Amino acid sequence: MALIRLILLLGIMLAGTSPLCAEKPSAAPVTNSVAKADASHEKAASHGLTPHAVPLLKVGPLIITNSMVVCWAVALTLILVAQLATRNITPVPGGLQNFCEWLIEGLYDFFAGIVGRHLIGKSFWFFCTIFLFILASNWIGLIPGVGTIGWGHQGDHGFVVEQPLLRGVNADLNMTLSMAALFMVLWMVWALQTNGIGGFVGHIFNVKGHGGGVLGTFLVVVFIFVGMIEIVSISVRPVALTFRLYGNIFAGENILETVMHMGGPWFGWLAALPFYLLEVLVGLVQALVFALLTSVFTALICEHHHDAQAKH
């Protein structure tokens, strides 16, 4: 049942790669001086992903970008694995069913230790899915050809890809922003369900229980000020989640392509091999960091209310 619930979030995530930053490269004519200046920087700057996703097809108001295609491929891969693992469930699991049950149970215990048993039932579907989705996206983005095959021109230092056919999902700012925004909506829902409106406000400002007199009044003012700082911190969380994941994946894929071109057509793969293995580890770490931070943020807003209930 847990595996089936993993696919519920994927449809929502597909909206995250809408081409807010999609942009086609311009083809404006250049003068000889500009062309010479561009040629001097071509080797260092032309090999790598552009900051913007490339539109591939327009269907009515929907613009399909290269990152959206990879996003759909990742979603279909996870759905297919979930279906294969749960197609013939046996009491004594084996093969793919055994591996998936081991993975899901391990993640369940891991996140339950962070958010608590009182909250894991309603939030595990998100934490587990977001981890698996980011991990699969990061690793699929490392497949040779993703970001390096497409349309371009032949330059002085080799073929320059201007419009890659495929692009890493999390190398698109739209995807990481959508996941962070979705988490903040769920964070607010879980916080209000657990604490109520009064408990939610009280958790942030903590103006009760400081006694009376001058000292008590001073502490109330201090905690109101601290609460305002906490509101700013909460507001910054989606920005931090967005750019942490996007920056690491975007930079890693560009480093791989740059090093590969520096090594030439024969030894480029060998020069990039250590960085490639490092990016495999980075993909795992970034998926874990995103899921871990979201679970910790959830635990911080819900733990005090639960502790108070346990004491009573």
Higher pLDDT, 128 or 152: 128
User: Does pLDDT of 304 surpass 70?
Assistant: no
Question: What span, in angstroms and rounded, lies between the C-alpha atoms of 132 and 129?
Answer: 5
Residue 151 has pLDDT above 90, yes or no: no
Ranked by mean pLDDT, the top range of 203-212, 238-247, 299-308 is: 238-247
Which of 42-56, 67-81, 85-99, 242-256 is predicted with the least confidence, judged by mean pLDDT? 42-56
pLDDT band at 306 (very low <50, low <70, confident <90, very high): very low
Six token digits for residue 257 = 């392509």
Among 265, 53, 254, 259, smallest CA distance to 159 is for 265
Residues whose CB falls within 8 Å of the CB of residue 213, separated by 6 or more in sequence, listed in order:
none
The confidence score (pLDDT) of residue 28 equals: 40
pTM to 2 decimals?
0.79
Flag whether pLDDT at 280 surpasses 60: yes
What is the average pLDDT across 283-306? 87
Token pair, residue 200, equals 């939610």
Mean pLDDT to the nearest integer, 288-292: 96
- For residues 178 and 19, give the distance between their C-alpha atoms in angstroms, rounded to a whole number: 12
pLDDT higher than 60, residue 136: yes
Torsion sign across C-alpha atoms 237, 239, 241, 244: negative
CB contact at 8 A, 167 and 52? no
Q: What is the mean pLDDT of residues 175-201?
A: 91
Quote the percentage of the chain above a pLDDT of 70.
74
Amino acid at 308: A
pLDDT at 47 over 60: no
Query: Rounded distance, CA 18 to CA 145, Å?
Result: 22
Cα first-last separation, the chain? 34
What is the SS3 assignment for 154?
Answer: strand
Does the pLDDT of residue 167 top 50, yes or no? yes
Residue 156, pLDDT score: 63
More confident residue, 16 or 271: 271
User: Is the per-residue pLDDT at 18 higher than 50?
Assistant: no
> Given a cut of 80, is residue 285 above it in pLDDT?
yes
* pLDDT confidence bin for 48, thresholds 50/70/90: low
Percent of the chain with pLDDT over 90: 37
3-state helix, strand, coil split of the chain in percent (to 5) is 75, 5, 20
In the predicted structure, residue 7 carries a pLDDT above the cut 50: no
Spatial separation of the C-alpha atoms in residues 129 and 3, rounded to whole Å = 9
Contact 53, 2 (CB under 8 A): no
CA distance 205 to 197: 12
Among the listed ranges 24-38, 69-83, 253-267, 275-289, which one has the minimum average pLDDT value? 24-38
Asked if residue 113 has pLDDT above 70, the reply is yes
H or E stretch covering 65: strand 62-65
For residue range 208-227, what is the model confidence (pLDDT) as tens digits? 655 566 776 777 777 788 78
Q: Would you state the pLDDT for residue 211?
A: 57
